[in-house]
Amino acid sequence: MATNNDANQPLGGTAIKPKGWDRSGWESFKYMLYDPDTGKVLTRTPMSWFKIITFYCIYYTLLAGFWLACLHVFFLTIPEDTPRWTLDESLIGSNPGVGMKPIMDDEHIDSSLYILNLGDTSTAPTNKEGEGTKNADIIRRMDLFMERYNNNTGLHECADNDDANKGNCIFNVDVLEDCAQPNYGFMPIDGKVKPCFFFKLNKIYNFNPEPIMAADLDQPEYEDMSAQLKDTIRASANPNSVYFDCFGRFPADIEAVSLKYFPSTQSIPLKYFPYTGGNYQSPLMALQVEVSDKHVGQMVHMECRAWYKGVVHNKKDKLGLTQFEIMLNPVPK
């Protein structure tokens, strides 16, 4: 038999509406700010607010301390003005590649083929950056590169034996002679183009190459050096240099070109090394290439190698050398 309590018990499935369910508008907002029945402020009791604020204060303090400790260790172990790892300890190593100028235009940046047109006499580049395929575009890109040799800040005029300023010397472009003149041989003169290409060692911090002396030339590691360069080294008045040796890669290429070096010693004096940061003028050696008339329209494959003691030449990784191609297009008929 049902009792009075049973009669007052809600039936199963009947929803019990919480107190204040019908609040709305301003009244609901006031109860969200402060609920006098429970003492909640912004839906939390003061004790709940105290616990969560304390937790996050400790959490973010420890997180900030962790990152400050990491930054402190980072700045203590990494030098501010020099690389942390250099030469053989670094990923770059101590065997630089050979850099080459002028650079290609952006559209053909992955190519090493220089196409020159004997009939292209226009002196106006495609744009101010020389981003085009005209002869004048190559000249413009070379002009932009050579502008850096006008900034001598922090550099010195150095004699070959000036050890005090070693690595901080002004590079005098006059040693490049004919190749330092405007147009750099890329503009047709009397129906001929004799382009100049500029070579340098890629910068590696603190890299200080050792020279090859005449007495070393009979050693096996120099058997790939040309007889002409060996004679140049033996006759050199300043053997303390890095030398460059350029040649056609295949028999057909060798007979297609005649080469002329500037300076004639085919070298860069060691006074320009090592590179230690700051303003630096990379020393250059220039090669003037003349393609014979009967080989106009032929792709000529060239290779240039740097020579100093201990150099490694690797064609796959382009260590100690560079390769490029030249093609002269005839005048259209």
Q: What is the DSSP string of 114-183?
A: EEEETT------SSTT--SSSHHHHHHHHHHHHGGGG--TT-B---TT--TTTT-B---GGGGGGGGSTT
Under the banding of pLDDT at 50, 70 and 90, the label for residue 6 is low
Instruction: Specify the amino acid at residue 76.
Output: L
Higher-confidence position of 82 and 196: 196
Query: What is the model's pLDDT at position 22?
Result: 66
User: What does the angle CA 22 – CA 24 – CA 28 come to, to the nearest 5 degrees?
Assistant: 100
Instruction: Please tell me the total number of residues recorded for the chain in this structure.
Output: 333
Q: Give the confidence band of 1 by pLDDT, cuts at 50, 70, 90.
A: low
Count of other CB atoms within 10 angstroms of residue 312: 12
Is the pLDDT reported for residue 4 higher than 70? no
Alpha-carbon distance of 151 to 279, in angstroms, equals 8
Least confident of 156-165, 191-200, 252-261: 156-165
Say which DSSP state 4 is in.
Answer: H
Do the bridges between strand 285-291 and strand 196-201 make them parallel or antiparallel, or are there none, so unpaired?
antiparallel
Q: Please check the confidence at residue 199 and state whether its pLDDT lies above 90.
A: yes
Higher pLDDT, 103 or 18: 103
Q: What is the pLDDT of residue 312?
A: 93
Concatenated DSSP letters for 46-95?
HHHHHHHHHHHHHHHHHHHHHHHHHHHHHHHHS-SSS-SS-GGGSSS-S-
CA distance linking residue 242 with residue 181, whole number of Å: 24
- Strand 40-41 relative to strand 241-248: parallel, antiparallel, unpaired? unpaired
How far, rounded to the nearest angstrom, does the alpha carbon of residue 285 sit from its chain's CA centroid? 20
> What's the pLDDT band for 79 if we cut at 50, 70, 90?
confident
Eight-state DSSP code of residue 319 = B
- What distances in angstroms separate CA 109 from CA 105, 189, 198, one per listed residue? 6, 27, 17
pLDDT at 138: 95
d(CA 127, CA 312): 40
* Residues 317, 93 contacting (CB under 8 angstroms): no
**CATH class of the region 87-329:** mainly beta
Share in percent of the chain as helix, strand, coil (round to 5): 30, 20, 50
Asked whether 212 and 309 are in contact (CB, 8 A), the reply is yes
